[in-house]
């Protein structure tokens, strides 16, 4: 027995799961959404069409079409094959994400897990109401549960994570994962940890601004320059007073690099100079040694050349040591 469709294309429907709206639409470029809807239409009717033809049909530049196809590939709902594209079933993705194997546990663990689940379910409900207006995609329920297990965040930190991403207009999985990974790697588990992290971050930002101002840098520092400052403040634990002594060496010089400043500060760290007093004392010693050499050099006569050479051999200065003579 053969069944045939007897519907007019004019009045036919296009099946678009609500998951697309709750999970993908809000964070997608408008042209990309337009491209996806047209791809659904093409797939339904088995059309054979090139990206160039799609570009002409939708009046969208070919480059945007190619970027749109790449975007949906990265989102995992479009698969590129050798000579075609396959649109992935969104409902199938949701089912796979929602499936979580149930492992056996002791009665004590079961009670503990139940208590945690009650608290975490309240948090999920709060997140749903505050950030998704009560229409959060089912995928997010499982995703939040997985984040609780992976990152060990407490309930307040989980809400803070969503608020952080929401305030930046980036309430999507990839951005949230980047932020969560950063917090986890900085040993954030509780709200107290997060507050301490923000205080440290704020202090570092202030130091970055001070250093930029003293160096006459009006642009934003790049990630490599920020990494140097993190090294000096976090790894070496130097306060701004110590860093300022190194910055003085840039006075009157052109094309100052952070590598140049780092060579000075790292030398202090290698010499175990931990405080402003240690560094100041060391610089004073270097000045005295430089003056002693200069004085001896002025008094030296031909009969004392061998003595001068011996003294110089005992006081070899590398490039970094020579820097200190002007401080």
Full set of structural domains in the chain with CATH? 10-94 (1.10.10.10), 110-189 (1.10.10), 198-326 (no CATH)
235 by Cβ neighbours in 10 Å (0-12 / 13-18 / 19+) ranks as exposed
Q: How many residues does the chain have?
A: 327
pLDDT tens per residue across span 253-308: 777 789 999 999 999 999 999 899 999 999 899 888 888 887 777 665 555 545 44
> Across-strand partners of 284?
none
What CA–CA distance (Å, rounded) separates 305 from 310?
A: 9
Given 3-state DSSP classes, what are the helix, strand and coil percentages for the chain, each rounded to the nearest 5? 70, 0, 30
* Predicted TM-score (pTM) of this structure: 0.53
* Whole-number pLDDT of residue 183: 95
pLDDT tens per residue across span 50-98: 889 889 889 999 999 999 889 888 888 888 887 778 887 776 666 665 5
Could you give the 3-state DSSP secondary structure of residue 83? Answer: coil
Distance from the Cα of residue 201 to its chain's centroid: 13
């Amino acid at each position: 027995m053969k069944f045939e469709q007897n519907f007019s294309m004019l009045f036919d429907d296009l099946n678009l799961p609500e998951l697309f709206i709750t999970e993908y639409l809000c964070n997608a470029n408008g042209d990309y959404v337009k491209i996806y809807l047209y791809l659904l239409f093409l797939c339904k009717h088995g059309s054979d069409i090139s990206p160039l033809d799609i570009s002409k049909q939708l009046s969208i530049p070919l480059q945007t079409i190619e970027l749109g196809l790449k975007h949906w590939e990265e989102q995992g709902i479009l698969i590129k094959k050798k000579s075609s594209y396959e649109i992935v079933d969104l409902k199938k993705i949701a089912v796979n994400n929602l499936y979580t194997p149930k492992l056996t546990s002791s009665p004590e663990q079961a009670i503990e897990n139940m208590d945690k689940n009650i608290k975490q379910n309240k948090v999920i409900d709060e997140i749903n109401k505050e950030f998704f207006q009560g229409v959060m995609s089912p995928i997010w329920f499982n995703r939040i549960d997985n984040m609780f297990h992976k990152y060990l965040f407490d309930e307040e930190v989980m809400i803070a994570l969503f608020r952080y991403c929401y305030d930046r207009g980036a309430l999507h999985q990839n951005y949230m994962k980047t932020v969560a990974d950063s917090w986890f790697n900085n040993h954030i588990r509780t709200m107290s940890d997060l507050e301490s992290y923000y205080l440290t971050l704020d202090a570092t930002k202030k130091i970055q601004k001070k250093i930029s101002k003293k160096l006459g840098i009006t642009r934003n520092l790049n990630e490599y320059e920020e990494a140097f400052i993190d090294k000096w403040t976090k790894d070496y634990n130097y306060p701004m007073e110590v860093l300022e002594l190194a910055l003085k060496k840039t006075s009157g010089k052109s094309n100052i690099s952070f590598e140049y400043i780092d060579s000075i500060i790292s030398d202090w760290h290698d010499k175990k100079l931990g405080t402003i007093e240690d560094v100041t004392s060391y610089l004073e010693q270097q000045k005295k040694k430089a003056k002693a050499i200069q004085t001896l050099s002025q008094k030296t006569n031909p009969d004392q050349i061998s003595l001068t050479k011996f003294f110089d051999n005992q006081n070899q200065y590398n490039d970094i040591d020579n820097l200190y003579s002007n401080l």
